Amino acid sequence: MRASSVEQAILETLSKEHSHLTSLQVFEEIRGRLPAVNQSTVYRALERLVEQGVVSVSDMGTHAAVYELLTDGRHHHLVCQKCRRVMTIGHEDVQSFFNAIQEKNHFQIVTNHLILFGICDNCQENVENSRAEK
């Protein structure tokens, strides 16, 4: 099997799902279309796509790296540590922060998928409510 056909199947899967998938989820999706493919082939193809900057890989706190297509433009995420809700923020929200760091440190940032962990507004309210009840 040609590596390029596996890469093509991965790109199609990621663009169809339009979300973050683990390598196992990508593999399971692709196996339906390319029955001869094995998990390590998929994993290596994913790694190549990450190196090419076509796909991002992140740890979103689930203890499994997730992959996502980057053609939708640079974006970042806020991940709630309590309910695991994932919010997406545009790159413009962090651009000035990136610029300041780059200037100050003469450092060129290549991170294209930033994950910030915290507590979402729902969970903050729940904490306040449970305090009020006591």
Which residues of the chain form contacts with Zn ion (CB under 5 A)?
Answer: 68, 80, 82-83, 85, 120, 123
Shortest spacing between CB 112 and Zn ion, in angstroms: 9
DSSP letter for each residue of 15-48: HHHTS-EEHHHHHHHHHTT-TT--HHHHHHHHHH
Q: What are phi and psi of 95, to 5 degrees?
A: -55, -45
Shortest spacing between CB 1 and Zn ion, in angstroms: 29
Shortest spacing between CB 34 and Zn ion, in angstroms: 25
User: Which C-beta is closer to Zn ion: that of 9 or that of 75?
Assistant: 75
CA angle, 68 then 83 then 63, to 5°: 50
User: Which C-beta is closer to Zn ion: that of 18 or that of 33?
Assistant: 18
